[in-house]
Amino acid sequence: MPVPVTRRTLVKNTLITGLMAGAPALGKAGGKPANAKGIGDARVKLAEAGPMIPPVPAIMLTVNGLEPGKDEISVVWTFVINGKPPQIGISVENVHVALPMIRKHGEFVLNVPTVDIMESFDRVDMNSTKIDDKFRLSGLTRESATRVDAPAIKESPIHVECKVFNTIEVPPIRTIFLAEVVATSVLEGVCDRDGKLLVESVPFFGMTAGSGEFYTMGEKVGHIGKSVGRSDIKY
């Protein structure tokens, strides 16, 4: 039975071969980042430490409410744990109204927005369900998920349906939920026949941690595995 080839195993094997064949160097020590504008050589320590790791996903979580008809849409910090098996993590502030809902139901949907609903995204982020129903406030449309008991946002081109398998309390004010991705669905044209995301076909955007701004994906500059001749890695 063939042994599965991991990303790093193949990199280790092909890196030596590539270097021996006269492959170009993978990186150059020192100097400025490629295409840097207005960046000097001196490093400045900021007065306030911050998680300046741009970009980060712009994601809307949807979950059933504590009572029927009290569904919640929230903007949460989201990160990928694993591609195979598909696992994802979210970070929720302990005072957030979504927290007890996620604890109770143990499942939710992550909805990926596009620039055409950016204002709706910001309305969701800047307002509380305690004030108004966020579907009505944002103008977004409810629909049902396929594998989990949770609402989803019809206007979102990607739905990632999740079931929680672990919870981690992070002092002083956060709870992290680790979840299995049990279903992923997309609108037609978002992926190719092999399920590979067609980034150029949909105007996704991300948040830049450090400036609080939204940016689209912009120009494609490479892909995972390019240095070793691979193009099959999606996660």
Decide which of 33 and 90 is more confident: 90
**pLDDT value of position 25:** 47
Q: Note the pLDDT of residue 26.
A: 47
Radius of gyration of the chain (CA): 20
CB contact at 8 A, 17 and 10: no
Q: Give Cα separations from 231 to 65, 118, 146 (angstroms).
A: 42, 31, 30
Strands 56-57 and 60-63 come out as: unpaired
Predicted structure pTM score: 0.86
**Domains of the chain by start residue, with CATH:** 56-216 (2.30.110.10)
Between 13 and 148, the higher pLDDT residue: 148
- pLDDT tens across 74-84, in order? 999 999 999 99
Question: Higher-confidence residue: 55 or 7?
Answer: 55
Segment 149-174, tens digit of pLDDT = 999 999 999 999 999 999 999 999 99
Cis check for the bond before 24: say yes or no (omega within 30 of 0).
no
The 10s digit of each residue's pLDDT in 172-223 is 999 999 999 999 999 999 999 999 999 999 999 999 999 999 999 888 888 8
User: Closest Cα partner for 177 from 185, 187, 165, 188?
Assistant: 165
11-21 pLDDT tens trace: 555 555 454 44
- The tokens describing 20, both together, are 């021996």
First and final CA of the chain: distance in angstroms? Answer: 24
Taking alpha carbons only, the member of 182, 124, 173 closest to residue 149 is 182
pLDDT, position 12: 57
Instruction: Give dist(CA 208, CA 193) in Å, integer.
Output: 31
Average pLDDT, whole number, for the chain?
A: 88
Residue owning tokens 């105007």:
203
Sequence-distant (≥ 6) Cβ neighbours of residue 10 within 8 angstroms: 228, 230
Cα–Cα dist 178/146, whole Å = 20
Q: What mean pLDDT comes out for the span 101-113?
A: 98
Query: Is residue 10's pLDDT more than 50?
Result: yes
Model confidence at 127: pLDDT above 50: yes
**Would you mind telling me the total number of residues written for the chain in this entry?**
235
Write the DSSP assignment of 107-164 as a string of letters.
Answer: EEEEEE-BGGGHHHHHHHHHS-TTTS-HHHHHT--EEE-SSSSSEEETT-SEEEEEEE
- 112 vs 139: CA distance, rounded Å: 16
